[in-house]
Every structure is written in C-alpha cells, then in structure tokens.
Structure 1
Amino acid sequence: MSAAVTITLGKIMATKIGSVDPSKFADEVFDLYSIPAFDKGQPDIVEGAKIGSAKQIVKSGDVLLSKIVPHIRRSWIVGEDRGRRLIASGEWIVFRGDCIYPGYLRHVLVGDPFHIQFMSTVSGVGGSLLRARPTHVANIAINLPSLPEQRRIAAALDKAEELRAKRRSTLALLDEYNQSIFIEMFGDTVTNPKGWSETISLGEVADIVSGVTKNGKLNGKVTREIPYLAVVNVQDKSLNLSVVKSIEATEAEINRYRLQKGDLLLTEGGDPDKLGRGTLWNEELPECIHQNHIFRVRLTTDKIHPFFLNWLVGSQRGKKYFLRSAKQTTGIASINMTQLRGFPLLLPPVALQHEFARRIAAVEILKASHRASLAELDALFAALQYRAFRGEL
C-alpha cells in the first residue's frame, strides 16, 4: 500500500468549467444532472427549450456534490458521454482531476468523516434554505492515496454498499408484500368493492384526545418529569424512539394523557402526503404521554382491531378523506379533532381483521431480522470508511 497524501478539496474543485444557456439551443437535447434527477437515479434527457436557466458544463467522470439541503448526502459521478452535451445545475459543486478516481472521491464525500466537516461550512436558516459554501468546502482536507489504491478502496466500499442496498431492497419488498396482503383481504378501501359496512365513524367507537401542551402554564401546581412523544417520534406504522424528550406535567395531565397498549397515535398535520400518518403504542416505555400535536385514538369497541385501524387510516381511504377535510396553508395540511372523529370506517368481520394482524406480524418478524442485519452492515460500512480514509484498509 503506497502512502497517501493530504490535499484540500480546492485543489480538485473545478471552478472554471464554463456554462451554457440551453434555451438558446432550443432543439438540442441535453443530459441534465439536477437535484431532482439525482433522486430519480439518472440524468434528465431534456430539450434546451424546456430548460429555463444557465447550467454548468460538465464531463464524464466529474464528481458532483450538492451544496443545498446539505444534511442529505448527495454525491454523483457524471456518467458516460452518450452523444449529448452534459450539463449540471448550479446546486452542484464540481470536482475534477487526474489524481482522483471518481468512485473513491464519491465515497469520501458521502462518508461520515467528511460530512461532519461539510456541515460546518453551511449557512442559511433551516431546511431547504441551508447551503454549503464552496469557498469553505475548498479548505477541507482529505487523504488521497495512489490511483490504484483509490480503486481498491472504492471496490471494497462498493461491495459493502451493494450488500446494504440489497438488504434495503428486501425490506422494501416486504413492505410491498404487506400492502398486497391488505389489498387482498380488504380490497380497495376507497371504492369498497367487497361491500364492507360504512355506516360508523371513528368518533362513535373511539375515545380521541389531543395531548399535553408544551410550555403550558402550571401556576405553581405540583408536577413531575415524564417522557412524552412529539411528532418526530410518530412515523408511518413505526415509532422512532432514538430521542425521547421529557416534560413537567401534573398528575391530572399524566392520568389523562398516559398511553396504553393498543392506542393509535396520529399526527395532526405536516406535508399533505403525510396526512393519516400514525402507529400503535405497544408499551415501548414503562410510562409515557403525548404532546398536543398528536391525537391518541383509544378504541371503545371490540369490533375493530387496532392494527387494522392503523392500516385503514393510513390507506388511500384515510389519505383522501383527510386531504379533503384538512386545512391547508403554504404546503402544510392539518386536521382537527372533529374531522378525525368524522372519519368513515370500513368494518370487515373482526375475525378477518385478526387474521390480517397475524399475517402481518409474521412478516414483521422477517423484517426485524433484516433490519438487524442492515444495522450490522451499516456499522461495518462505517468502520470500513473510517479505516479506508485513514489509510488503514
């Protein structure tokens, strides 16, 4: 193994690569490397007339690094020349150099060691307004082994990354299988081809409450600290308990908002496509309450299985109902208690609902195994990155 040298990214940052206004070449077809195209996995093939602003001219083998929304790790290698001019949007920082193997540099740019430094170059306020500053990125130093060594390291990391991708793909297929089970057993929940009863609303068979108000006035009342769930904890059919905050609450509030096994937790709003997002509480913590931006739905009948209800609310039936009912402002949609109580249920036989829960539980056991394997692969990949970029692999 030859010794690595240390260089700053400014040495390989392509700053004078030229630009083109595609609209002046209306009939020409370009390969456009944009942020949306990255998320789709391939460049857009688009006519100049349909491109509204000037773009950077790039070439095959260039390595791109997104400077917008920098917490999302986006790095892309410009693909082969397919007879069309290659262009990239201005959101990319472009790297080019005879001393770099593109596959190696891409791994560096999405790796943990680099990302920590990269985030320190960011300016702006929140979300999509955050941007990395290229002049600051240029000062970040990386280890650069010989080209043969870069290829060897990239190949090892590519193999590990491939294994992680396969595991993620398997998990996605299992999610699709779960969805197919739901459709097979209950049909299209919007058109209801199986003719299930639709005469009962959620409010008739469930106790629904909002949660504790953060920073509420306590006026000297006796309180104690207790964990509480925030919106970030409630995902689609899962809980994210990596960070659970605590709040001071009175015993009356704790008794009112204490979660019980089988409670359905639903967020009141967010992005329109996330309406109906919720999951079940299965006593993951000994004691817990929830904040006021989360609805707690506690069934008062045995005619509905909580697990089926979770899936029904998150189905197209729920999404269409909530989207139609929700208050929407600047891309944010929210529902209120009255709208939630009015949600029109489907009522298949309860035995069928229980059978659905059993079938999904069997798949979830498989998913848990694959998730554990993926976590091990993620840890291995992080260790490989750390060793590789320190010249120890």
Structure 2
Amino acid sequence: MTNLVPIRDLVDKVSTWNPAQSNSISTFKYIDLGTLDQSSKEITGAFDVLTKDAPSRARQLVKSGDILVSTVRPNLNGVAVVPEELDGATASTGFCVLRPTSAIDGSYLFHWVRSPEFVTDMTRKATGQSYPAVSDKIIKESRIPLPKLSDQQRISETLGEVAMLRAKRREAITLLGEFTQSIFHDMFGDLAANAKGWDDSLSLGDVADVNSGITKGRKVSGTLRPIPYMAVLNVQDKNLDLTTVKEIEATEDEIQRYRLLKDDLLLTEGGDPDKLGRGTLWQNELPEAIHQNHIFRVRLHPSSKVEPNFLNWLIASERGRRYFLRSAKQTTGIASINATQLRQFPLVIPPLALQNEFAVRLGKIKTHESTQRAHLAELDALFASLQQRAFRGGLWDDRGN
C-alpha cells in the first residue's frame, strides 16, 4: 500500500488582496461559486468586476493550474482547474485553492478531489443543515495516496483519456438537443408571438387533466405496498434520470389514482426560475410508477388535437418560459407554480399533421441520443472503475516506491 499524504503537505500558499482597497479604479476577473459548471468541472462564467464594486469574498489571487474546490455543499463536488486565460484572476473565499508543488502531479491531484472517496469524506465532514460546508483546513487534511511521480502522471493520463471521451459523448448529446431545438423553431416559428397565427384560443386545462401526485408523510390506512415514484430529481428537461428511484408505501386506490401512463407529461412545480416548465414524457420506463406531489402529471384528453411531444416542447419553449416567469410565485431565488396556473397555460395549436411530423423527426434524433447515452454510461462505469483502482493502488506497481 502506498503512502497516504495530507494535501496540505503538497500545496503552496496562495496570495490574497482586497480589491476594494486598491488605489486605482480598474477591473479584475472574478471567479465565484456560480461560475463553475459542476458537470464539466470547468470554470464557465468568470466575469469582470470593478475594484470599487468588489464582493467581500473576492480575495484569492489564483494562477493557471490552481485547483479550486468549493467548500459549500461538497456533495455537489464543485471543482475546476484554473485555465491559462484566467491566470491572475481573483477567486472567492468560498473556494479552497490548491496550488500543487513539485511533489505532486496537478492532474493527479485534480482527479483525487473528483473521486468518490474524497467527495464522500467531505460530505461526511460538512457542517450546517441548510448550507453544508467544509473548511479549507478539512479539505487540506484529506489524505491522498501518493505513488511515485511517474505513476501519478500515468494515472492522470489514463483517467484523462477516458474523461475526454466522456466529454465528447456529453457534447454529442448537447448538439443533438440543439439540433432538435433548431428543428422545432424551423417548423413552428416564434410561438411566443404565435407568428404563424395558429389557434391560440385554448388553455392547457381545456385539453388535458392536470394533477398533483402523492404526498409523503400523509396519514393513510389500509393495506399498503411499495411502489416506485417519480420525484423532482428524476424529472429533467425532456429526459428522465432514473439513476435513483425511490419507493413509497401506498394503497391500491392511491396507486390507481397516481399511476403513470404512456405519454403523461411530468412537470416540476418549482425550482430555479430558469428551470420552470422543466419536464419530460413518461414512456413506461418502469413496469409501474406513480408521482410525488411536487410533480404535476399532465394527461391529454383523447379528443385533443395536441401531440404529447409537441406539448412538451411548447411548454419548455420561450412562450412557456415567459408565462411561468410572469405567473410563478418567487421567493429567494426559488420559483413555483400551482395546478391552476398550469391549467391556464395558453396553448398554440399548429395543424396536427405538423405536430406528428415533428414527433417522427424527434423520435429519430432520440434514437441517436439513446445510443450516445448508452455509450456515455459505459464510459462512466469505466471511469469510476479506473478511479477506484487508481487510488487503491491498482494502476501502479508499489514496489518501485
């Protein structure tokens, strides 16, 4: 077994400054917690700030190659490497900045702070219920397996190659989504303004039943049995995430009342304002399932002249976004809608043949997307396996240490 070394012994000190006390008024690049993309593990939104307007957390002077680790909500693993174009930028004190010394390969350290072992350890040590966080000290106390430098570099290269393949798969999935958005706009135009003058006399409640789901913790009597239910974390934008599916004890009457049927549209009732209208169609992904009360189930009437896929995209369109932002209740950055507001959603109904054509084209793209997602899942599993082996000594020969 290789040595376990605290991170603090492998990193240099980082300089700080107070922009607000600068003698001149100028701008600087600022990296705050919101500029990190937790999926890609990259800094995507650094922005210019005037020194006189500097946030109180703008203190840490970073260099290219520094590793930023968010101290807030460590379970989300907000980490990134400072790129060359942000050399000399200022980072929030909400980050622990790790500046690797010559004793450790920077990429190897970056892979460690992305590893399940590190994330689990930091999550366990976080304090605070509504705003869990760890200190810089706790992060730097993390003990990293330290093989010889050449092995660190070999591990980094191996993990880096798989990470690059994963990134390409994610990019392909994103491009397919953008392609579908382009098709939708080409076929239906600006639905926010109903530029083509289609029927806009009906609301969602005129063509569909809108219902909330089962409530956790409710008082119930009778014979119960466990059944999977869809929660907010499962319902993504035009996609279901079934990585974690929870179960709830329910009666047969409840199961019949809340049972999901093919082409039911599932919509979240709230969240970030820019995610209002987020939803996807149920396609019998599980033999049976119901939905939680924070999820709306929209079930089109058989006589409606609305195709389910078109409805999904209509509600998520600019028309939907404007309606929900105008109608939603908003508090401290969280927005929510109720069933009445959803039923009042103003529809635009193009010819059914055009909606059906869109559904066919969408289906072909989804077939390609499913293939990409399957390949991505395989790469994710490979990456996780390699990570585990790497930090348990399975990818190097300890005898040389």
Q: CA deviation digits over 1:27-63, x for unaligned, max 9?
A: 3554444333444437545443332335123444433
CA distance in 2, matches of 1:133, 1:38: 19
CA distance in 2, matches of 1:41, 1:284: 34
Q: Which residue of 2 aligns with 1:312?
A: 314
User: TM-score by structure 1 length?
Assistant: 0.89
Structure 1 regions of 5+ residues with no counterpart? none
Q: Rate the CA distance shift 1:181–1:78 in 2: closer, same or farther, 3 A.
A: closer
AA of the residue aligned to 1:123: T
Q: Which residue of 1 aligns with 2:90?
A: 87
C-alpha RMSD of matched pairs (Å): 2.5
CA distance in 2, matches of 1:94, 1:297: 46
Q: CA deviation digits over 1:255-303, x for unaligned, max 9?
A: 3222222222222222222221222222222332223222222211241
CA distance in 2, matches of 1:303, 1:213: 32
Q: Does 1:226 align with 2:227?
A: yes
SS in 2 for 1:120: helix
Q: Rate the CA distance shift 1:241–1:391 in 2: closer, same or farther, 3 A.
A: closer
- Quote how far apart the aligned CAs of 1:86 are: 4.5
Matched-pair contact (CA < 8 Å) for 1:121–1:133: no
Q: Which residue of 1 aligns with 2:44?
A: 41
Out of 16, 21, 25, the residue aligned to residue 18 of structure 2 is 21
CA distance in 2, matches of 1:81, 1:269: 37
Q: Structure 1 residues 23-32 or 180-189, which shifts more?
A: 23-32
CA distance in 1, matches of 2:107, 2:348: 52
Q: Which residue of 2 aligns with 1:147?
A: 149
AA of the residue aligned to 1:289: I
CA distance in 2, matches of 1:77, 1:322: 36
SS in 2 for 1:20: coil
CA distance in 1, matches of 2:82, 2:195: 48
Q: Structure 1 residues 113-122 or 156-165, which shifts more?
A: 113-122
AA of the residue aligned to 2:66: D
Q: Structure 1 residues 27-36 or 232-241, which shifts more?
A: 27-36
Q: Percent identity?
A: 49
Q: Which residue of 2 aligns with 1:217?
A: 219
Q: Rate the CA distance shift 1:315–1:143 in 2: closer, same or farther, 3 A.
A: same
CA distance in 2, matches of 1:71, 1:171: 25
- Quote how far apart the aligned CAs of 1:176 are: 0.2
CA distance in 2, matches of 1:94, 1:162: 24
Q: Which residue of 1 aligns with 2:121?
A: 117
Matched-pair contact (CA < 8 Å) for 1:13–1:94: no
AA of the residue aligned to 2:115: G
CA distance in 2, matches of 1:236, 1:161: 24
AA of the residue aligned to 1:67: T
Matched-pair contact (CA < 8 Å) for 2:145–2:392: yes
Q: Structure 1 residues 110-119 or 181-190, which shifts more?
A: 110-119
Q: Which residue of 2 aligns with 1:272?
A: 273
AA of the residue aligned to 1:247: I
CA distance in 2, matches of 1:100, 1:200: 64
Q: Structure 1 residues 181-190 or 203-212, which shifts more?
A: 203-212
CA distance in 2, matches of 1:170, 1:81: 26
SS in 2 for 1:259: coil
Q: Rate the CA distance shift 1:372–1:320 in 2: closer, same or farther, 3 A.
A: same
Matched-pair contact (CA < 8 Å) for 1:32–1:86: yes
Q: Which residue of 2 aligns with 1:77?
A: 81
Q: How does 1:58-69 map to 2 (within 5 A)?
A: 58-69=62-73
Q: Rate the CA distance shift 1:63–1:233 in 2: closer, same or farther, 3 A.
A: closer
Matched-pair contact (CA < 8 Å) for 1:123–1:133: no
Q: CA deviation digits over 1:227-253, x for unaligned, max 9?
A: 332222222222223333333333333
AA of the residue aligned to 1:52: P
Q: Does 1:331 align with 2:333?
A: yes
CA distance in 2, matches of 1:49, 1:273: 30
SS in 2 for 1:119: helix
- Quote how far apart the aligned CAs of 1:380 are: 1.7
AA of the residue aligned to 1:196: W
Matched-pair contact (CA < 8 Å) for 1:13–1:93: no
- Quote how far apart the aligned CAs of 1:387 are: 2.6
AA of the residue aligned to 2:78: R
Q: Which residue of 2 aligns with 1:386?
A: 388
Q: Structure 1 residues 354-363 or 207-216, which shifts more?
A: 207-216
Q: Which residue of 1 aligns with 2:5?
A: 7
- Quote how far apart the aligned CAs of 1:100 are: 1.7
- Quote how far apart the aligned CAs of 1:125 are: 1.3
CA distance in 1, matches of 2:85, 2:322: 44
Q: Rate the CA distance shift 1:289–1:8 in 2: closer, same or farther, 3 A.
A: same
CA distance in 1, matches of 2:360, 2:345: 25
Matched-pair contact (CA < 8 Å) for 2:207–2:304: no
Q: Rate the CA distance shift 1:192–1:244 in 2: closer, same or farther, 3 A.
A: same
Q: Rate the CA distance shift 1:297–1:81 in 2: closer, same or farther, 3 A.
A: closer
Q: Rate the CA distance shift 1:7–1:188 in 2: closer, same or farther, 3 A.
A: same
CA distance in 1, matches of 2:334, 2:85: 41
User: What count of residue pairs does the alignment treat as equivalent?
Assistant: 386
Q: Structure 1 residues 357-366 or 247-256, which shifts more?
A: 247-256
AA of the residue aligned to 1:121: K
CA distance in 2, matches of 1:371, 1:118: 29
